[in-house]
Structure 1
Amino acid sequence: MDTHKLSPWNWLRNEGSDTGSGSTPAKSSGGEVSPLLGIHQELDRWMDRVMGQFGMPSTVAGEAPSLLRPSVDIAERDKEYVISVEVPGVEEKDIKLNLEDDQLIIEGEKRQEEKSEEKRYQRIERSYGSFRRMLNLPADARKEDIQASFNNGVLTVTVPRDAEAAPKRQEIPIKH
Structure 2
Amino acid sequence: MNLQKFSPWNWFKSERGDAGAPAPMEPRHRELSPLLGMHQELDRWMDGVMRQFGMPALESRFGEMASLLRPQLDIAERDDEYLVSVEVPGVDEKDVKLTLDGDRLIIEGEKRQESSTKEDRYQRIERSYGSFRRVLDLPVDARPDEIRASFANGVLKVHVPRSGEVRENRREIPIQ
Question: TM-score scaled to structure 1, two decimals?
Answer: 0.76
Deviation of the 1:115 alpha carbon: 2.0
Give the structure 1 partner of residue 10 of structure 2.
10
1:29-87 Cα distance to aligned partner (Å, 9 max, x none)? xxxxxxx89954523635997xx96xxx7531132331011111000000000000000
Larger helix fraction of residues: 2
* Distance of 2:148 and 2:169 partners within structure 1: 25
Q: Does 1:116 align with 2:127?
A: no
* Distance of 2:94 and 2:160 partners within structure 1: 21
The answer as to whether partners of 1:44 and 1:59 remain within 8 angstroms in 2 is no
2:145 maps to a residue whose letter is E
Give the structure 1 partner of residue 34 of structure 2.
none
* Distance of 1:146 and 1:138 partners within structure 2: 13
Give the 3-state SS of the residue equivalent to 1:138 in structure 2.
Answer: coil
2:13 maps to a residue whose letter is R
Q: How many matched pairs?
A: 157
Identity level (%):
55
The answer as to whether partners of 2:148 and 2:159 remain within 8 angstroms in 1 is yes
RMSD: 3.1
Which consecutive residues of structure 2, in runs of 5 or more, have no partner in the other structure? Answer: 1-5, 18-22, 32-37
* Distance of 1:40 and 1:154 partners within structure 2: 34
Give the structure 1 partner of residue 174 of structure 2.
173
The answer as to whether partners of 2:91 and 2:110 remain within 8 angstroms in 1 is yes
The answer as to whether partners of 2:14 and 2:24 remain within 8 angstroms in 1 is no
Write out aligned runs for 1:1-176 (5 A).
Answer: 7-17=7-17, 18=23, 20-23=25-28, 39-40=41-42, 42-43=44-45, 45=47, 59-166=60-167, 168-175=169-176
2:109 maps to a residue whose letter is G
Greater CA deviation, 126-135 or 13-22?
13-22
2:27 maps to a residue whose letter is G
The runs of at least 4 consecutive aligned structure 1 residues that moved more than 6 Å come to none
Greater CA deviation, 63-72 or 132-141?
63-72
2:171 maps to a residue whose letter is Q
Change (3 A) 1:165 1:91: same
1:84-134 Cα distance to aligned partner (Å, 9 max, x none)? 000001111111101011100001111111121232211101011111101
Which consecutive residues of structure 1, in runs of 5 or more, have no partner in the other structure? Answer: 1-5, 27-35
Give the 3-state SS of the residue equivalent to 1:14 in structure 2.
Answer: helix
* Distance of 1:117 and 1:47 partners within structure 2: 43
